[in-house]
Structure 1
Amino acid sequence: MKNKRFIIILTVIIVIGGVVAIYNFSSNPASAYLSEEEAKEKVSNQFSGEIMELELDEENNRKVYEVEIKGTDRDYELKIDAETGEILLLNEKTDTLKDNSTTKEKTPDDHDNTAQENENETDIKDEQNEETKQQSNNSNNTLISAEEARAIATDQYPGTITDFEQDEDDGTYLYEIEVRTDTHEVDLEIDGYTGSIISISKDDLDDE
């Protein structure tokens, strides 16, 4: 009788231990990934704008967050490593000034009103264009320093800067920086005025 009771107790202990082990095995991998809130916080700290979409996906046996951000003057599409938070891909789109004018059919009765409306629309457009130019001049007066550009690059990808260049293309000033980390060789382009990271290119280091 005692042996039977001992066997029952031992069986229960084994079953409970197995359930706990299975739970830990299944839950530990998920806990290694960033939560959606952590991913949002990391992205919001680096890019200004409203997060329109954040989705966990899998690419090449790697969990990634696909993120879309709508800013005031530009939109971002990026992918970040769901485990490390590292930016894997960044696309930046700059908004262009849209023509909001409308075309109305003119009749003899409303010809004068239409002409006045067109004149008002022209004045508004001129004011908008002038304001845009002033804002552009104000924001583009000062280049960020080379040290600031270096800090932006190494904050994003801690490592050694192996190449650093300042370039100008059609009035746009860029810092082209190459950073060597423990696992990757990263090429970045940084806007010389805003400090925004415009593009990122990464290559895995060959095993030595």
Structure 2
Amino acid sequence: MKFKNLKLGASAIALATVLTACGGENAQQAKEDAKDAANNTEAAVTEEVDKTKENVEEKIDDLKTGIEEKEFAISLDDAVAKFKEAFDDDSIEISSVELDEDDGKYTYDIEGFKENKEYEASIDAESGEVLAQEEENDHDNDDSDDDVAIDFEKIISPKEAMEKALENNKGYVKSYEIDHNDDGKLVYEIDVEDGDDVELDAETGDIIHK
């Protein structure tokens, strides 16, 4: 009986040894799996951080690039045409146009008039979508300082105006506006970032002042 108990005890010890060995192997495998998972997670996080960093750097570089370097899907002429389409009236005269950026989106802000009404609209420079529009009566129509129409056939192109504005000037163009100044002259007002803003004659391209 004693020997039987010894045999059973030996078997139990052997089984315990096997289970311990298996348990050790499982623990080691679990440890390795956890380590691999941690490494994979770290690699995924690092990759995501790198992508985010690249996107931020691209946006910063894009903001440092002036509109003189950009080619928009919607040209100035396209924007004017879409402005008139928005109000379903091709006879509206255009009094001012501004191309500017707001929160990464470039838009044409256009103002026009006809008889006793004034019109305003914002048009996406890439999609051509009319983002906002407004029509109202011109209560100041009797004033001597009435709106004056832009003759687009007589003015130089925005590209040429920006190139002239950057001659002997540092920086890049943030925005431009075509409008009449206080003297009644039709001008390009060029907003130059990190440089001197420029006002130039919209017809001749001559610089009026920086």
TM-score, shorter chain, exceeding 0.5: no
Larger Rg: 2
TM-score between the two structures when normalised by the length of structure 2: 0.29
TM-score between the two structures when normalised by the length of structure 1: 0.29
